[in-house]
Structure 1
């Protein structure tokens, strides 16, 4: 594997809420995405989901609290916790999660990206 320039990878796409795979390690996928507004309420029954913000502000809404992440901050949403990412316009973030993690858990919505449609960039 070659080194990855994360900032450059963010320049290669404009779609929002569509994870792009940039690396794999021990069955975990490293994905980046851009977001504005709200995604969809969902949960991952069997997987934790780690978020790291590179640009903007990402709020991880949960039923009992909100976690606000700025540049350089991270949070792990524990498995089974319902959450809804909310992003300021043009927020850039990374997710690290098991390869089998469905984009929006068991929720299917217009913004859901199927596992087979998540591509490497």
Structure 2
């Protein structure tokens, strides 16, 4: 039941596209991730995802449009919607998603992280 300082947790890692679990509630994980560059096209058949930007900004690409998400904004990607995050500069995001969520969804490749670190 301790509070979590986001800046302190972000200072504990430097790797990008490698989410870290910082909390759990009601079957959901609270994750922190640093993003830079392009991710892979993917979707989550059973899970919605919430991306909250703590620092910086990124673009969420969909097949039919692109949405820019800036600091102190969040975006919910509904289950079943194909998407690809793109960050020109490093961005810090907090994610809320079911514990079963695989970061690359229906696509498994070198960016897939199955065993996440807990901070």
- TM-score, structure 1 normalization: 0.95
Selected match of 1:118 from 113, 116, 119: 116
Whether the 8 Å contact between 1:56 and 1:88 is mirrored in structure 2 is no
- Determine which structure has the larger strand proportion and give its number: 2
Cα shift at 1:110: 1.2
Deviation track 1:41-79 (CA, whole Å, cap 9, x = no partner) reads 000001000000011111110001111101000010000
- Indicate the residue corresponding to 1:48 in structure 2: 48
Structure 2: which 5+ runs fail to align?
none
> What is the deviation of 1:32?
0.5
The ranges of structure 1 where at least 4 consecutive aligned residues each deviate by more than 6 angstroms after the TM superposition are none
Q: In the TM superposition, what are the counterparts of 1:64-83 in structure 2 within 5 Å?
A: 64-83=64-83
Q: SS at the partner of 2:9? A: helix
For the aligned residue pairs, the C-alpha RMSD in angstroms reads 0.7
Map 1:32-47 onto structure 2 (within 5 A): 32-47=32-47
Distance 2:73 2:111 in 1: 25
Deviation for aligned residue 1:88: 2.6
How many residues are matched?
119
Distance 2:42 2:31 in 1: 18
Structure 1, 85-94 or 71-80: larger mean CA deviation: 85-94
SS in 2 for 1:113: coil
